[in-house]
Every structure is written in C-alpha cells, then in structure tokens.
Structure 1
Amino acid sequence: MSERTRRSVLKAAGASLAATTVAAGVGAATSDSGWTVAESPVDGTLHDVQYTARDAHAVGGGGVVIRRTDEGWRKLLDGGPTGNGNNLYGAAATDDGKRLWFVGSSGAIGEYDVETGNLEDRSAPMDVTNNFNDVAVVGSAGDAEVYVAGDSGKIYYSFANGEEGTWDYVTPGSGSALPAIETFGARSAHAIDTNGRVFETTDGVTWEPIGIEDADVTFYGLDSDGRDDVTVSGGNASVFEWNGSQWTPESLGDADLLDVETEDGDGVAVGGGGTIFERAGGRWSQVDTPTGANLKAGAGDDLAVGASGIVLER
C-alpha cells in the first residue's frame, strides 16, 4: 500500500467521527476558510497528529496522547511509554491503522494498540536514550518495519516490529539532526536533516542523498509518496518538490513551515503563527486561520495541531 493510499484509507475510516466532532464545536472560533478551533483536553504543545483505524490521535508534551471521539478530543495517555513524562515529538500509524507508534525525548518509543488500549514500551533501543524526533512505519499491526530519526543524526531501524535485539542503526549524512522521516513502501523511505539534505533508501539500510543543493533554509517537514513524489518544507515558508529528477523550490512567505502533507497534487503546509498554506490546482496559497499559535503538524487536509494544545479542524 502506498503512503498516499494508506492516509486516504485511514482518513476515510474516521470521517463520520470527524463530522460529529466538528458539529459539536459550533460556536468556537472559525475562519473564512473553514478551519475551526476544537476543544482540547490539554494545554501543552501537541507535536504530531495521525489518522488511525480509530480516528485521529495526537501526541505531545509530557508524553500525552489524545484521541478524537464522537464526544470530542479525549486524553488517552499521560507520561509517555515509560511513564516518565518524556515529550513525544513524532507519530505514525501502521498500514492497517491498528497501531500507533510514537517517539520522543530520552529515547522514548511506544507502540499503542488503538483498538485495545494496550501500550508496549519499546524505548531505548540498543540502550540509546537520545532525543527521537520522528518515526515511520510500514506494514501491519504486529509485523511492521520501524524507522526512528533523531538529534544524533542516526536512523534506528527494526524489521521485526521493534522487538528487543532486532534494532540496528545507520548515519545517512554528516551527523546533523534528523527532524523527519517517512516511508513510501516496504524498505523504502525518505528522511531530511538540518544540514539541507534529503536522503532516500530502497533497502531500508543504505541511504543516499538526493538533494537539495543551495536550499539555504532549515528543513522541518517531509511528505514522501514515492521515489518521484517528495515534498519538503522549511524556513521562510519554503517548499521544495521532487519529481524524481529535479527539485522545484518555492518561497511562500516568512513563516517557518514545520509540516507538509500532499496527496494527488493537492496539499497543506502548516507553521508558525497559525500559518496554513493550501495547494490546489498546482498553486500554493495562504488561508485564514482562527489562531496565532504555532502549528507543529497536520494530518490530511483537515487537521492541524500545535502550541498550547491547539487543535484545528475543518
């Protein structure tokens, strides 16, 4: 299953709950573009949001995990996989959406069963307690390949669902921090570092640089849908699109764009000061939002989360 197909399936699975939740939020701040501030059960920063087989989940500061239900957003976990309150920075769902993987500070890694509520602590692989920024998974629940990227510049990977003793690592670049990683198929993924590099693997082990020359901005967000379909977002509202042979850069404004999601040519990028850019008909344009809070991540074209527990929906 391709990355874009997986996201579409998981988003569709939560569509009915999403409609109910937005309806329940009538009266909240709403922008002309349809973005609405949803009631949030937390006030700490939410760093990532993902669709699963049980609607959307978000992770954030203090190790919190929240979920959208038909009564609104509810807190599921507090304290992270170890219970020590480590911040959670990245999350990813298995292809079937039944497991949510999340990573964070001090080597935190968790595998959460969204159907049963069971949490497996996979923290500190190979006794590593570095800060992990993002996680990517491919495969079904209980049988996933797992890739974790962090501040050390290393990618830790397991082809056996993160079981103890199955982890290894590779340093794809110069050792600069890796803010984002995403799979686009079995043993196939892209990653970005803070030194202006994008890396690709097609065997899960060997990573090769594919750009970006003279980008001159820090990279933050990554969307990987195939070897010829990659989008990177960064500082100065920069977006870079890869078609398999060349990068096309575009500067949209001033805000740092911390995450980007694309599908079939359309897309959404989110960032500082409540900034959201939308891509339609081959063009990016900024839209109004009802918040000035920094937005850290988005899911699909209808969810964004960020500072002070902000959740935007439409």
Structure 2
Amino acid sequence: MTPNRRTFMKRAGSVAALAAVGATGASAESGWTTRESPTGSTLYDVEETTAGVYAVGAGGVVLERTPKGYVKVLDGGPTGNGNSLYGADVTDDGKRLWFVGSSGAIGEYDVETGTLQSHSAPMDVTNNFNDVSVTGRAGEANVYVAGDSGKLYYSFENGESQTWEYTTPASGSAINAVDFHDATSGHIVDGNQTVLYTRDGATWDKLGIENANHNFYGVDSDGFDDVWVSGGGGTIFHWNGSEWIRSDTGDAGQRDIEVAGRDEGYVVGGGGKVYDREDEKWTADATPTGQNLKAVVLLGGESAVAVGAGGTIVER
C-alpha cells in the first residue's frame, strides 16, 4: 500500500500532544475529553499532518492544534469569501493539507510554511464539493474531489489549472465521501446508497450495497478487500473481498469512519455518539458532548480526535 495519512498515526509526538491541550470536560469511563475551540461554527473534517492535527469547517475556518490549544490559521476559506469547508485530506508525506467546500472551494495549505494556494472553481465549476482525497507527495499529488452534483473531479497534476477532468460515476446523486488507498485506487459512496470503486482514478464500477436501506455518509478505503462504510440508522458495513458484513449501532446516523487493522478504529455520528472497535466488535464510548460529530481521525493506539457541530472538539 502506498503510504497515506495513516502513516502519521504512529508518531509519538502527536499522541503525546493530546495531553498538552487544555481540557474543558472529560468522560472518565472512556477517556474522551472536550477541548477548547476558537470557533462556534460546525467543524466538518479533521486530519493529521506532519505539523499536527488540523480541522476545517463552516465559514472557511481552518484550525491547528498547538501546544497551547487550538488556534485559527485561516478564516474565510481558500478564496477569502467565507465558503464553508466540508472535507479535507493530506498528502502522503503529510506536508500539504487539502480542503474543499461550498461554491467550488479547493485549497492546498502548506503546513510547514503556512502558505495557501487556491485551486477553486476547477473547469469554472462552482458547485459544492463534499470531500477530497489526495495521493502522492506534496506538489505531486493526485487530487480527487467529490461533487454534490454527482460528479467526481480529478487532477493527476496537483490540481494545476487546465489539468482537471471529471466523470459521473453513477446515477448523478451527490457523492458524499471519497477515499483512496493508493495512487489511483479507491472508493466513493453516493446519495443513492451506492459504493463504487476505481483502479485507474477515472473509471468507476459498482461494488454494492444491496438492500442497505440507509444513506451512506463515510467511507474508509484500506484496500480492494478492506472497505468500511458508515451510514444512517447507525449502520456500518465492511467489505472483506467477498461479502458485505453489516453492523448496527443504534439509531444515530454514523457520519464518519476510520479503521486500521482488525481492532483499531472509530465511527462517529449524531448526538455525540462514538463507537470504538474492540475484539472485532463495535462498542459504545461515553463522550462529554451531545453535539453531532462529523469526522474522526486516528492518531495511533486508542488516541483519536473527533469534531462536529458548534465547533466541538473531543480527543481521546
């Protein structure tokens, strides 16, 4: 597997840094702690880079976790117009944070120099973008953007102007999430309860899921025989290469999922719900928030960061 954002989960510095950020509330049962947030706006995604954890959200806010707490490094999005940011990802070397959002917003943020480059409105498209996945090193990335109009936009040349192309992988329903496990191989989920895969980054085929009966919100692509999907009604699906295995965690919609191996992973969703994967089963964790959670990132071992409505940040 080509190295990706999970490369950085095992860094001791990131895990140790959790203890350095001021806490405002905690759940003694599970170890989840609420952190002070410099925004009251919804945070839609969270990622880990070589410079630490970053979160993105409404109004184009980008937060960085520092030893003194979370601080704003960007407010207004890549164009400064206040476009909300709904998805983020990092290059394989962890040096660039990419984010996408409303009105065609696409940004590439260098976490080492603090410089920002806008790739917004590719092909003059100003529709909403829901998610992004990037593969490759800083400055040399393949970029895949999930469109709310059902189109998947992609550039094999780091998002440079005139290098963008697009395809409509399925029925035209909104693509809710995208994730790649190597340079040109990955998965998407759309608003028509469909999971699709690609091997070349451009052409897509259906993988499932029949009779799911719930919308799909999150996807974690770890290989062609290892795909996780989270959805409405507390549903979690796992593709093991031969069949979809379904788990039910309750009524809350599960907005995001990230898994590493058989027994390391989290899924997060409505009402502050968090489920922890242990002994190949999903177990509910108590959290100190009732806010809807939108995204989670693993940092190694049991450490993780989740973000959501009202600027909520919880860490374990």
Q: TM-score range by the shorter chain?
A: over 0.9
CA distance in 1, matches of 2:6, 2:105: 28
- RMSD over equivalenced CA pairs, Å: 1.2
Query: Percentage identity across aligned positions?
Result: 57
Q: What TM-score, normalized to structure 2?
A: 0.96
Secondary structure class of the residue paired with 1:32:
coil
Matches within 5 A, 1:100-249: 100-249=97-246
Match of 1:55? 52
CA distance in 2, matches of 1:97, 1:296: 22
Secondary structure class of the residue paired with 1:204:
coil
Given the superposition, is the C-alpha separation of residues 31 and 43 from structure 1 closer, same or farther in structure 2, using an over 3 Å criterion? Answer: farther
Runs (5+) with no aligned partner, structure 2: none
Match of 1:313? 315
CA distance in 2, matches of 1:112, 1:24: 23
CA distance in 1, matches of 2:235, 2:18: 32
Q: Deviations over 1:256-278 (max 9, x none)?
A: 00000000113100000000011
Question: Which of 248, 272, 275 is residue 273 of structure 2 equivalent to?
Answer: 275
CA distance in 2, matches of 1:295, 1:158: 30
Residue 12 of structure 1: how far off its partner (Å):
3.1
Match of 1:250? 247
The answer to whether the 8 Å contact 1:22/1:313 transfers is no
Match of 2:42? 45
Question: Which of 298, 302, 305 is residue 303 of structure 1 equivalent to?
Answer: 305
Residue 31 of structure 1: how far off its partner (Å):
4.0
CA distance in 1, matches of 2:125, 2:236: 33
Secondary structure class of the residue paired with 2:174:
coil
Residue 8 of structure 1: how far off its partner (Å):
3.6
Given the superposition, is the C-alpha separation of residues 31 and 210 from structure 1 closer, same or farther in structure 2, using an over 3 Å criterion? Answer: same
The answer to whether the 8 Å contact 1:17/1:68 transfers is no
Match of 2:87? 90
- The residue identity in structure 2 corresponding to 1:186 is A
- The residue identity in structure 2 corresponding to 1:305 is V
Match of 2:292? 294
CA distance in 2, matches of 1:250, 1:30: 25
Given the superposition, is the C-alpha separation of residues 245 and 149 from structure 1 closer, same or farther in structure 2, using an over 3 Å criterion? Answer: same
CA distance in 2, matches of 1:71, 1:17: 14
CA distance in 1, matches of 2:235, 2:17: 35
Secondary structure class of the residue paired with 1:213:
coil
CA distance in 2, matches of 1:196, 1:22: 39
Given the superposition, is the C-alpha separation of residues 291 and 27 from structure 1 closer, same or farther in structure 2, using an over 3 Å criterion? Answer: closer
Secondary structure class of the residue paired with 1:179:
strand
Match of 1:285? 283
Residue 18 of structure 1: how far off its partner (Å):
4.5
- The residue identity in structure 1 corresponding to 2:243 is Q
1:25 aligns with 2:27: no
Residue 11 of structure 1: how far off its partner (Å):
2.4
The answer to whether the 8 Å contact 1:17/1:70 transfers is no
- The residue identity in structure 2 corresponding to 1:274 is G
Secondary structure class of the residue paired with 2:98:
strand
CA distance in 1, matches of 2:5, 2:162: 30
Given the superposition, is the C-alpha separation of residues 186 and 20 from structure 1 closer, same or farther in structure 2, using an over 3 Å criterion? Answer: closer
The answer to whether the 8 Å contact 1:10/1:55 transfers is no
- The residue identity in structure 1 corresponding to 2:197 is E
- The residue identity in structure 2 corresponding to 1:296 is K
- The residue identity in structure 1 corresponding to 2:311 is G
Match of 2:32? 35
Residue 189 of structure 1: how far off its partner (Å):
1.0
Secondary structure class of the residue paired with 2:9:
helix
Residue 184 of structure 1: how far off its partner (Å):
0.6
Residue 25 of structure 1: how far off its partner (Å):
2.4
The answer to whether the 8 Å contact 1:47/1:90 transfers is yes
Runs (5+) with no aligned partner, structure 1: none
